[in-house]
Amino acid sequence: MQRIFTTHRISRMLRCDRKAVCTWIDQGLMAGYRTPGGHRRVMESDLLAFLRERRMPLPDDLKQPRTRILIAEDEEGMITVLREALGQREQRFDLRTAPDGIGTLIEIGRFRPHIVLLDITMPDLNGVAVCKKIKADPLSRHTQVIAIGGPGEVGMRRKILACGAVAFFTKPFDLGALVDQIHQLAIYQMTETRQTRPLSRGVRG
């Protein structure tokens, strides 16, 4: 969901006088509109366009949060494929890998990923056991788990979905569909992050 900013909020973010923001809007330099009460408002996309056209640095409030993704996979070839596919998207990701079940749980505690790409068959703990532990821990239970399994592991689909995984992909899978699923979860994560940010007090024109 796109945010809408007051001139007061913009002046605080850009550390400039509010009158300057009003002038930019009135002169058409920054796209904006007026409410029925006459107060100026600016859409987030228009504010971003204004800053980018002038090569101005983005304030922290406008920077896109990076989605943290943990790839729990023991096959180097698959890790490379996933890294390359995710790197082609505009959405920026922080990626880490874990080669086995125990390593996955340790990395979840350190990295706090938003999304885990979880291979069903890994050394030591299988994907179902790992998913159960992720969802049982209050600190990681909101982590989105996407399970990946081989052709002979379709029977595991019901079990891991029952444990809380949001999707199951069978190898060889449609890489584009997997990346689209990750992208949608990342958008949801960014929306949740923005909604938890404190809003500025007061509404000024």
User: Where along the chain do the CATH 3.40.50.2300 domains lie?
Assistant: 67-191
Structurally, at CATH architecture level, domain 4-63 sits in Orthogonal Bundle (1.10)
Averaged pLDDT for residues 170-178: 89
| Percentage of the residues of the chain whose pLDDT score is greater than 70 | 88
Which tokens belong to 149?
Answer: 């399994």
Residue-wise pLDDT tens digits, 103-120: 999 999 999 999 999 999
At 173 the pLDDT is 87
User: Where along the chain do the CATH 1.10.1660.10 domains lie?
Assistant: 4-63
- pLDDT over 60 at 201, yes or no: no
Which tokens belong to 43?
Answer: 């859409």
- CATH 3.40.50.2300 for domain 67-191, yes or no, is yes
